[in-house]
Structure 1
C-alpha cells in the first residue's frame, strides 16, 4: 500500500505540475509585445486602412452632373448632395471613422508596450512612429468631422474624441471636447514623436519616416495658420530644396499603358509618395465613371491653372463622356485561392512632395512673400509642362494679377487663388480640393443636368461629415443639422 501511495502522490504532483504549466500559457496564443520588433509589426496597422477620396471629390467643385449614363454609386451620390452618410461600406465616412479609430487603437497599444518596457530606450523609434501615427489619424478625423480650425472659435467648436489609452471595456464614454483641445493634443504627439523617428523601414513609403512626418507637420500648421512653422517644416522635408527631383514623375509615364501608369503612380518607389496608405477601397473602380464626375471641358480647365497647361498629365476618357487622369490601381484579393469573391484594395497617396511645396507656397503668400511663392509655383510648372521654357511658361506677378483681375483685386487673394488652383490641378481625384474648400470655407455650387442649382454656402453645417450614429452609445454627440 505504501508503494501504491507513493505512485499516487507522484502522479498527482506530475498532474498538477502539468496543469500549472498549461494554465500559464496564453489560451489564444496571442503575441506579447515584449520586443521592439513585435511593436513594429503592430505599427503596420496604426495607419487608417480606408480613404475618403471619392466622397471628398463628390462634395467638391471638381465634379458636375455629368451624365445619366454614369455608374450609380452611393458614395458619389451622397457626397454630391452633401447628405448624411447612410452607407457603412468602404469609401464611406462611417467606414473611415472606424478605420481611423482602429489605427489609433493600434498606436495606443504600441505606446503602452513602449512605456511599460524595462528598456524603453530600445523602443524610441517605435514610440516616435506611434505618436505621429496617432496624431495623423486624429488630425484627419477632426478635419472631416469638425469645423475647420479657426483661432476665434476653436475653443468652443466641438472636436472629436482624442483617445490616448488602450480600450479595456466594451463601451466606454468619450468626450468630443473642442477643436482647440484636439489640435493641442495633435501638436503634443507630433512634436514629441517626430524627433524619435528612425528611418530604418523596409518599406518606407508606408511609414512615417522623418520626411513624411515633416510633410504632415507642414499640413497641420497650414491648417493651424502658423505660417512660419509651415515654411520651416517644408524646408525640413527637403533641406536642400530638392522638390523638383522628388515629385511624382509624370514625364516618365509617357510610354506606359493604363495599368502600368496606375501602378507606378501609387508605387512605394515613386519619390513623390512620401506616405502611402494601403486602403480597403473601390476608388480605382469608381473614380472615373460615376454620374457626378468630370466631362472633358471641366478636366481641361481644371488642369490648366492660371492658364498653364499641365500637359505632362495622361488624360483618358470613357465613351467620350467621362474624363479622368489615370491614377489608381485596383488590387483584388480573393477570399480563397479559388474564390470569385474578395476585397478590393487601393494604394493611395496620403502625403506627397507636391503638397509640401504648395503648403510652403501658400504660407509665403499669407506672409506677403510673393517672390518666394512664385518660385514654388514655377518649380511645379517646371515638372508639369512638356517642353518647359522658363521665359514662356513661368508665372510672374503680372500674369497672376491679370488672370484674376476681373474677379479679384487684392494681390494676396489673387496669389492664394493661384496656389489653390495649382493644387486642384495637381491633386485631381485625390480629395485634396475638398480639404481646401473646408479649410478656407469656400462655397460650392453644383448644377444638375436639369438646371437645378445646389449651393453649399460658407459655414453650412453639412460641411461637417456626420459621425456614425452608433457613437452616441459612448456618449458622443452627433453634429447638428
Structure 2
C-alpha cells in the first residue's frame, strides 16, 4: 500500500500490522495511556523525526557546484530547483510525512488529556502537545506554502491543520489559507506556552521547555512580522539577560577542541546553546560535505571569511577538508542504529538543534533593527560577535554605526539588518537555516554548474515552495503551482 501523507493518529504512534487489522480492534485496545507520565513518554515522538537541512541547504546560496561528489536526489534536484521525486531520508516528502506523524502523536496526547478523569494533572503534557502541534504545522506551512504576507495571506493556500486524532485510513483534507494556518498556530502557541513545566522533563532539551517555547514564539512572530513580540519572547529566553553565557564559546573553549570533540559536543543536551534537540533519520551527517553541490572554497570565503567587525570568524579554525573542495564544520554527527545487536544493517540518524540561543539572539537583533531600535540591535550583535571573533577586543572589533554604514554602503538601519542576516548565515551554514531567511526576504538565487548550466530562482518564483507530495492528493490536497 503506497505510503499516505496523513495517517491515522494511532497508526502513526503505535505501528500495528495492516490497516484493516488495526481498524478492526476496539478503540479501547489501541493504547494504554493512563497517566501523565505515559503521555509524556508518548510526546517524546511528537517532533518531526526527519531532517530539512539537506534539501533546504541545497536550495540556498550557501552551496555551489564542486564538479564531483556524492549524488543524492535531494541535493541535485534542490540545486536545480526541480521537484524532488523521492521519499527517502532528507527528502521533502519524508519531512512532510514526519511532521504529520508528529501532529498525530500530539493530537492523541491532547485527546488523552481531555478525556482523563483528572485533566488538571495533565496540564504540562497538554502544553507540550499544543506546542509540538503548532511547531510541526509551522514548519509545514513555511516549507510547503507561501511565506506569510499580510497582504496575501488570506488567499494564499496553506496546509491542512489537523486538530483531532484520525480514526479512518482515508480522509480528505483541505489546505485553507496561510492566514488560517497562522491563526491556528498562534492559538496553540499562546494556549500551550503558559502550561509548559520544565520540572516534568528528565531531559528538558528533548522537549518544549520554557526557553525553547519562547524561542519558537519569537521565530513565529518574526515570520508574522510582529517585531515587538519577537523582542518580548526573546527576552523570556534570556530572563536574566544572560545571553552571553548561553552562546557557544567558539572563540574560547570550542577553538581548542579537536573535530571529534566538536562533533560530540555540538548537539549535546548539556550544551547551554541547545534549547531543543530532535533525533532525525538522515544521511546528512554522512554526506553534507562530500555532496556535489555543497560548500566550496569560494562559498567558504563568501560566508565565513569576511564580516563587518573587521575580525576573523572563529569558525575558520574549524573548517576542515576531506578531499578536494570538501569543506565541513563539525556539527552534524551521524549515529548509526542497527536493526538489532547482531545486525550489520540499520538506519542513520543525526540529532538536530531545532532551536538555539544563537538564533534567538540574532532574531532579536533583526527585530530591533526593523523597529529602528539601533542601539539595542547593536548590543545583541556585539554580544554575539564577542563569542565568535578570534582574539576579540571590543576596542577593535565592536560593531559600530560607522563600520556598518561603511561596510554595507547603506543607512544604519538597513546595515544592521544585513549584519544580523550575515551573522545568521555564518552561524548556521550547513544546517539549512539560511533557506528561511531567503524565503522571508525573497532573496534571489542563481546556481551554476561546471558544465555552464544556470538555474535562477527569483524572489517570486513559485518553486520557492517545495512541492506537496504527489501521494498527498489521495487525501484531497491540491499541489503547488509550477
TM-score in terms of structure 2 length: 0.91
The reply on whether 1:427 has 2:428 as its aligned counterpart is yes
Q: 1:387 aligns with which of 387, 391, 395?
A: 391
Matching residue of 1:371: 375
1:163-202 → structure 2 map (5 Å cutoff) = 163-200=162-199, 201-202=201-202
Whole-angstrom CA distance in 2 between matches of 1:339 and 1:132? 37
Q: Is the 8 A contact 2:49 2:278 kept in 1?
A: yes
Whole-angstrom CA distance in 1 between matches of 2:314 and 2:337? 35
Deviation of 1:75 (Å) = 1.2
Answer with 135-144 or 312-321: which moved more. 312-321
Whole-angstrom CA distance in 2 between matches of 1:314 and 1:349? 19
Q: Is the 8 A contact 1:218 1:234 kept in 2?
A: yes
The reply on whether 1:449 has 2:450 as its aligned counterpart is yes
1:245-324 → structure 2 map (5 Å cutoff) = 245-250=245-250, 251-303=252-304, 304-306=306-308, 307-312=310-315, 313-324=317-328
Measured against aligned partners, the alpha-carbon deviations of 1:151-205 in whole angstroms (never above 9, x if no partner) come to 0000000000000000011111111000000000000000000000100211111
Q: Is the 8 A contact 2:155 2:178 kept in 1?
A: yes
Deviation of 1:239 (Å) = 1.1
Secondary structure at 1:254's aligned position in 2?
Answer: helix
TM-score in terms of structure 1 length: 0.92
Unaligned regions of 5+ residues in structure 2, if any?
1-24
Deviation of 1:249 (Å) = 2.7
Distance 1:26-1:170 versus aligned 2 partners, 3 A rule:
closer
Whole-angstrom CA distance in 2 between matches of 1:414 and 1:386? 23
Matching residue of 1:8: none
Matching residue of 1:46: 46
The reply on whether 1:357 has 2:352 as its aligned counterpart is no
The reply on whether 1:120 has 2:119 as its aligned counterpart is yes
Bigger Cα Rg? 1
RMSD value, Cα: 1.5
Distance 1:34-1:387 versus aligned 2 partners, 3 A rule:
same
Measured against aligned partners, the alpha-carbon deviations of 1:264-304 in whole angstroms (never above 9, x if no partner) come to 00111111110011101111001111111122232133123
Deviation of 1:143 (Å) = 0.2
Deviation of 1:448 (Å) = 1.5
Measured against aligned partners, the alpha-carbon deviations of 1:446-467 in whole angstroms (never above 9, x if no partner) come to 1221333321001101000001
1:318-333 → structure 2 map (5 Å cutoff) = 318-333=322-337
Matching residue of 2:227: 227
Secondary structure at 2:336's aligned position in 1?
Answer: strand
Deviation of 1:29 (Å) = 6.7
Deviation of 1:28 (Å) = 10
Whole-angstrom CA distance in 1 between matches of 2:256 and 2:379? 30
Matching residue of 1:418: 419
Deviation of 1:231 (Å) = 0.2
Whole-angstrom CA distance in 2 between matches of 1:176 and 1:264? 40
Whole-angstrom CA distance in 2 between matches of 1:167 and 1:206? 26
Answer with 307-316 or 41-50: which moved more. 307-316
Whole-angstrom CA distance in 2 between matches of 1:106 and 1:300? 43
Q: Is the 8 A contact 1:446 1:453 kept in 2?
A: yes
Whole-angstrom CA distance in 2 between matches of 1:159 and 1:80? 24
Secondary structure at 1:305's aligned position in 2?
Answer: coil
